[in-house]
Structure 1
Amino acid sequence: MTSAADRTALFHSLHQHGPLALPNAWDVASALIVEAAGAKAVATTSAGVAWSLGAPDGDALDRDLAIDLVARIARAVKIPVTADIESGFGENAEQVGDTARAVTEAGASGVNIEDGHGSGLRDVKEQQERLAAAREAAPDLYINARTDVFLRGVGEPGERLHLALERAQAYLEAGASGIFVPGVTDLATVGELAKAIDAPLNVLAGPGAPAVHELGTAGAARISVGTALASAAYAVARKAAEELLTKGTYDSTSEGLGYGELNALFGN
């Protein structure tokens, strides 16, 4: 089996030959499905993970539960795993460092750490301290520093690009490996971000967004889909449950994976 160090080195390199498309998984089965589909790495979705473990998204999930799931996924797949650890599962920088160390020991090659906090964003200096602590605790980890300027609509629309770039630069100085700017998919803005950020740019895509190759041409090195896969799976579950309980029929499950096909993914 490929060593954890080799998988981490591979994960870093995947950002240089992009665009890297990451379908986000939320449990071991979805991670195995993503791997079988041909993904080069598995990314978790913090919301999907939280939901699957009985908690809402937004720093409410117990850190140990999140890290245990990362460990289970990392043991199950052969490709690199990057974990969305929300804002670091810590009230202070030291605790964020503890999380980064633990998630590395669990087998992750990368993490997302966001700057969203409460109804706004963390102070830039505070977020730098949190990222620096993660870097010190996990020197080889790919740290994808997320800024929610666009996602949360911080500031006036005309100011957001400048605000996002200011934060991106500060986060890179603190030790981030790449920058994640969710809330932006228009190609012009993606291009401006990519041109100004001296590191791989991650964007969040979904229905209606430009295709992966278009975002890659604009400069995005990494495209992920967040909760999209988990939400779609849960939508099928709701539709099938409602059909069963109201009509007494089962057609909504007709396109489900076969028992044997799914069970075989766990063979290793």
Structure 2
Amino acid sequence: MTRLSTVFRNLHQDNLLVLANVGDAGSARIVESVGSKAVATSSAAVAWANGYQDGNQLPLKLLTTTVESMVRVLTVPLTVDVEGGYSDDLESVAKVIDCVVRAGAVGINIEDGAGSIDLILRKIEVAKKVASTRGIDLFVNVRTDVYLRCLVAPERQLVETISRASLFEQAGADGFFAAAMVEEYDIATLCEATRLPVNLLSWSGQPEIHELARLGVKRLSAGSSIAEFLLGANNALAKSFLRTGRLFEHPLDAFTYSDLNGLMAKTN
């Protein structure tokens, strides 16, 4: 694991690291087989694969067994989306981090959401400390929801995002994930303003991948979008087969995030 943690950290230094996020071990193996240098989970994809809503609902036991199953089939580094640590209680967050690190993850995503800045800073510190006791130099990639959830007025979003990047770095973060940032000016300004590798979520209206690399972006994530398409395809294929005994009747469309999360709500 020490070697893999070094490999994963180094992947953020030069070229743009593109991650096709997954939700299960089979998908993880496929992503590695087509050339990905690392594998990342999507919290939504993992939750939906287990019949839960995204949004800090997944039981820790299922998260742990999912990570273990992925590590079993992978030879590349694995980074795990732990949402907000599945709790605002720091002892519970520490338990989550310990479980995913012991299961074989060398990186995590953790998000600020609408909570206090102080709370996410403490979660970062807890994550680094817990991993260190296990001898792992954990790559802590911290997602801010300033743009994604419109946490501040639009005219303040860039300044607020840069401010959070600085605070997260001081707390020990290794990467900064500006989810839903789209505009070229904002992206370039953020990349110039922080020493942390900048991670973006693939989003409609963003510059092309080569332009993102030129602007200084170091990591691009698919998020839940691949899972949305795969589960949408599952839905269409199943309906077609149940009606006609044939697999292909209509074009395959993705589910929306809200449709999938609503569907899973009925099982919780």
- TM-score, structure 1 normalization: 0.88
2:105 to 90, 105, 108: 108
Which residue number in structure 2 is paired with residue 240 of structure 1?
Answer: 237
The total of aligned residue pairs comes to 248
User: Shift in Å at residue 208 of structure 1?
Assistant: 4.7
Match of 1:213 among 195, 210, 215: 210
Match of 1:266 in 2: none
Q: Which of 128, 132, 140 lines up with 2:121 in the alignment?
A: 128
CA 1:252–1:63: 2 relative to 1, 3 Å: farther
Deviation at 1:95, TM superposition (A): 2.1
Question: Which string of whole-angstrom CA distances, capped at 9 and with x for unpartnered residues, describes residues 15-53 of structure 1?
Answer: 002200000011011001100110000000000000011
C-alpha contact (below 8 Å) 1:23/1:42 kept by paired residues: yes
1:8: which partner in 2? 5
Contact 2:180 2:203 (C-alpha < 8 Å) held by counterparts:
no
The two structures have a TM-score, normalised by structure 2, of: 0.88
State the match for 1:76 in structure 2. 73
Moved more, 189-198 or 206-215: 206-215
Identity between Structure 1 and Structure 2 (%): 35
Equivalents in 2 of 1:129, 1:96: separation in Å?
Answer: 10
Per the alignment, do residues 189 and 68 of structure 1 end up closer, same or farther by CA in structure 2, a change over 3 Å counting?
same
CA drift of 1:248 comes to 4.2
Aligned amino acid, residue 132 of structure 1: E
* Structure 2 unmatched runs, 5+: 253-268
Within the alignment, does 1:56 sit opposite 2:53 as a pair? yes
**Change over 3 Å in CA distance of 1:221–1:252 after alignment to 2:** farther
Letter in 1 for 2:194: I
Please say if 1:251 is aligned against 2:244: no
Within 5 A, what are the aligned runs for 1:81-160? 81-116=78-113, 121-139=114-132, 140-160=137-157
Please say which of residues 9-18 and 239-248 is displaced more in the overlay: 239-248
CA RMSD of aligned residues (A): 1.7
1:201 corresponds to which residue? Answer: 198
What amino acid is the match of 1:146?
Answer: R
Q: Which amino acid aligns with 2:126?
A: A
**Residue pair 1:115, 1:122 contacting (<8 A) in 2 also:** yes
Q: Which moved more, 1:178-187 or 1:88-97?
A: 88-97
Q: Assess if the C-alpha contact under 8 Å between 1:11 and 1:80 holds in 2.
A: yes
